[in-house]
Structure 1
Amino acid sequence: MEPNVLETLEGDVALVTGANRGIGREIARGLVARDATVFGGVRDPSYDLPDGVEAVELDVTDEASIESAVEEVVESAGRVDVLINNAGVGGDGDGIVALATDDFDRILDVNLRGPTLLSKHALPHLLETDGGRIVNVSSGVGILTEPIESEMPAYRISKAGINALTVSLDQTYGSDGLIANAVDPGWVATDLGGSKAPREPQKGAETPIWLARFGPGSPSGLFWKDKQTIEY
């Protein structure tokens, strides 16, 4: 199925988590360039955001903060059309035996629990729009059709979970018009990806922005990289 890619997002309202740096910052900037009204979910509203992006205080590890942020966006703009679950943290270590439980909890809290609860609280509003969209920023290290390596076990598990969340959203709410997709932005030179990564944040943001432009009837429940579907 070919996507119905919207030329403009004028009239649409987007919430982007982790919009103050890295890939999230470039996603927010790109959505503004497509004429969307963009809210950047950040832990501190004083963080620097791209021009045209309005800060909304949001801690993805705190459900009350999540619920409050969604309500603030709806009260301010009247709707939510696009949710970009971008905020995330990395991890290290080799194998789960050496994994500190506190680190495991923190990584899954930010990378999986947060996006799940954001989707939960945004869904009633997304389903009120024509073709509400959720874009989950995942990673190729969470692909189950390839060997899961030993390094960064909590991070890999969290990204496999994000892919499962995407499928669940599509299976449960796709018939109601929701368009939910996951995206691998590639290895990007951010605080998480490190300076040796070959991609700049602008490149990592290209496909998430493209997915945010999917109109009604577009593909859903899939995993994408560089605007092409890949295996989960």
Structure 2
Amino acid sequence: MANSDVKRVLVTGGNRGIGFAIAQGLLAKDFEVIMTARSLNSAQQAAQQLSGRVIPLELDISSDRSITQAAETLRQKGINQLDVLINNAGVYPDQDVTVLTTTREALLTGMNTNTFGVIRMVQTFLPLLEAAPTARVINVSSGMGSLNGLTTTAPSYCLSKLALNGTTIMLAESLHAKGIAVNSMCPGWVKTDMGGSSAPRSPEQGADTAIWLATQAPHDKTGKFWRDRREISF
């Protein structure tokens, strides 16, 4: 049976990059971390690299069936409370395309994972968030999803993160009465599989604001967009 006294966070895409750094940082702050990856093996391998309370979990946020199954797996483990949900998993389906050459399939892939997946995660795990006294939802977005940061060369990514920021505003308004804070954050350009090796920031630097939002940020700050622990414009 799970310990109801421990602070618990679920990190999607927690097996590598920014998600792994977030998991590592929150373990250091005595959280129990539910680390998800698209395959259980990937989650287990990543969990073995960490010390602390880590629960590996298979979860593909582009699949409603996978999201539902993940929630059921946690229920079977006796986990009925979630203090923080960090929607970190995402895709970048924009190799060598522009807004003039991209396909409907690529646009749908971006929206289905980066935006619709987040909405379904919140809907599905809401009962667990409601059980926590001061729950938080943190959406890992991008400056490329802000109105003044859109580019023509990453159309599906930009539009899906723009929609994710809109989703953050809508969720914050919808969950305010339940005492659940919802925020977006931009990690900056980070050395990850997505960001590439020339990116100036480490995963740990990219994870810092998410960790701060999960632990130290004022709980009454909701429906905002953050970078380097400072509020920025959507």
Counterpart of 1:3?
none
Counterpart of 2:111?
108
Mapped pair 1:73 → 2:68: no
Q: Distance in 2 between matches of 1:107 and 1:220?
A: 25
The normalised TM-score by structure 2 is: 0.89
Is the partner of 2:18 in helix, strand or coil? Answer: helix
Q: 1:54 to 1:147 in 2, by over 3 A?
A: closer
Counterpart of 2:206?
204
Runs of 4+, deviation exceeding 2 Å: 70-78, 91-97, 214-218
Q: 1:213 to 1:75 in 2, by over 3 A?
A: farther
Q: Which segment drifts farther, 62-71 or 210-219?
A: 210-219
- Percent of aligned pairs sharing the same letter: 37
The answer to whether the 8 Å contact 1:13/1:79 transfers is: yes
Task: Please report the RMSD computed on the Cα atoms of aligned residues, expressed in angstroms.
Answer: 1.6
Pairwise CA distance, 1:214: 4.5
Q: 1:152 to 1:188 in 2, by over 3 A?
A: same
Structure 2 counterpart of 1:117, one-letter code: R
Is the partner of 1:135 in helix, strand or coil? Answer: strand
The answer for unaligned runs of 5 or more in structure 2 is none
Counterpart of 1:98?
101
Structure 2 counterpart of 1:137, one-letter code: V
The normalised TM-score by structure 1 is: 0.90
Q: Distance in 2 between matches of 1:171 and 1:14?
A: 22
Count of paired positions: 222
Pairwise CA distance, 1:73: 2.5
Is the partner of 1:98 in helix, strand or coil? Answer: coil
Pairwise CA distance, 1:229: 0.3
Mapped pair 1:28 → 2:58: no
- Give a deviation string over 1:27-64, Cα, whole Å, max 9, x none: 01111111111111111111121423221110111101
Q: Distance in 1 between matches of 2:194 and 2:70?
A: 24
Is the partner of 1:24 in helix, strand or coil? Answer: helix
Greater relative contact order (Cα < 8 A, sep 6+): 1
Is the partner of 1:202 in helix, strand or coil? Answer: helix
Counterpart of 1:140?
143
Mapped pair 1:184 → 2:155: no
Q: 1:37 to 1:74 in 2, by over 3 A?
A: farther
Pairwise CA distance, 1:101: 1.9
Q: Distance in 1 between matches of 2:229 and 2:66?
A: 32
Q: 1:38 to 1:22 in 2, by over 3 A?
A: same
Taking the TM superposition and a 5 Å limit, the aligned residue runs for 1:1-232 are 11-47=6-42, 48-49=45-46, 50-51=49-50, 52=52, 53-76=54-77, 77-90=79-92, 91-144=94-147, 146=148, 148-214=150-216, 217-232=219-234
Is the partner of 1:46 in helix, strand or coil? Answer: helix
Pairwise CA distance, 1:88: 0.8
- Give a deviation string over 1:51-95, Cα, whole Å, max 9, x none: 232211101111011022123224423311111000011124453
Pairwise CA distance, 1:213: 1.1
Q: Distance in 1 between matches of 2:184 and 2:160?
A: 13
Counterpart of 1:6?
none
